[in-house]
Structure 1
């Protein structure tokens, strides 16, 4: 393994170990926080409502996984189900008042974290980071497509 490959590998391992995405908010698991934030975003984008498959697509996880998280969030009073007024057969999801507050707190926390990152890196390095992260993402998408 070349020295540069080893350095890139170490940098990815170090980043993964930092657990920056795994911090809970208000005692809610990080994966459930992502569901709350996703539900909030999708609700703002879609006036007709949000269902499990919408969240599943946006987060790139299976519907059964989202369903389990939604059940947990419902049990804790963060999310509620309701019937689509246009078609009673369709079940939609929305944040409760408690869910809105938790999603807002999580959003504010992520904003503080990424504002701090931009301030530390400065504008030029932040823009370079965006370009590099997009290139990394595209590379991983390409190699994932070739594995199938």
Structure 2
């Protein structure tokens, strides 16, 4: 027999999934696109202005073909560009265009604004509790996957 608490948790997860869809196109971009942009940006901040698809896929823990699809979309939008690695002509490196830098900044600002509004709505204490609980939930599901 299912407990009321388990039923309530299931309903909450389902509602949260719908809420996540709202946040899934912040500033018109998918979360996967933003993750790739942010990963390349972090590389640039660490003096690595260009990254190989394999490096991006490693950091995001997804397959290179997945990253390649996202890169294709971002390149079409003019946010990234590909260059051939002069040291290894078979390797292609990806870097943000100036439009990519601006877009990444705009998405980050929009996301931050949403979170600041959530903190205003919940209050500081409940926001802290929520962050801690979500971290615990994440940890629990990571342990299940091992």
TM range (shorter): 0.7 to 0.9
Take 1:47 and 1:53, find their aligned partners in 2: how far apart are those partners?
A: 14
TM-score with structure 1 setting the length: 0.84
Corresponding residue for residue 49 of structure 1: 50
Q: CA deviation at 1:24?
A: 4.5
Of 4, 18, 21, 2:23 maps to: 21
3-state SS of 1:106 partner = helix
Rounded to whole Å, the distance in 2 between the matches of 1:100 and 1:12 is 34
5+ residue gaps, structure 1, are: none
Runs of 4+ in 1 over 3 A off after TM superposition: 27-30
- For residue 131 of structure 1, report the CA deviation from its aligned partner: 1.4
Q: How far does the alpha carbon of each residue in 1:52-77 deviate from its partner, in whole angstroms, 9 at most, with x for none?
A: 22322332321110111101211221
SS in 1 for 2:25: coil
Q: 1:28 to 1:134 in 2, by over 3 A?
A: closer
Secondary structure of 1:77's counterpart equals coil
After TM superposition, give the deviation of residue 99 of structure 1 in Å: 0.9
Aligned length: 143
Q: What is the root-mean-square deviation in Å for CA atoms of aligned residues? A: 2.0
Does 2:27 correspond to 1:6?
no
Query: C-alpha separation between the residues in 2 aligned to 1:48 and 1:97?
Result: 12
**Which range moved further: 1-10 or 58-67?**
58-67
Given that 2:82 and 2:95 are in contact with CA atoms closer than 8 Å, whether structure 1 keeps it comes out as yes
8 Å Cα contact 2:49/2:95 also seen in 1: no
- Whether 1:94 aligns to 2:102 is no
How far the C-alpha of 1:136 sits from its partner, in A, is 0.7
Q: Give the TM-score taking structure 2 as reference length.
A: 0.85
Distance 1:64 1:21 in 2: 25
Label 1:105 to 1:40 Cα distance change in 2 as closer, same or farther (>3 A).
Answer: same
Q: Distance in 2 between matches of 1:9 and 1:83?
A: 48
What residue ranges of structure 2 are gaps of 5+ in the alignment?
Answer: none
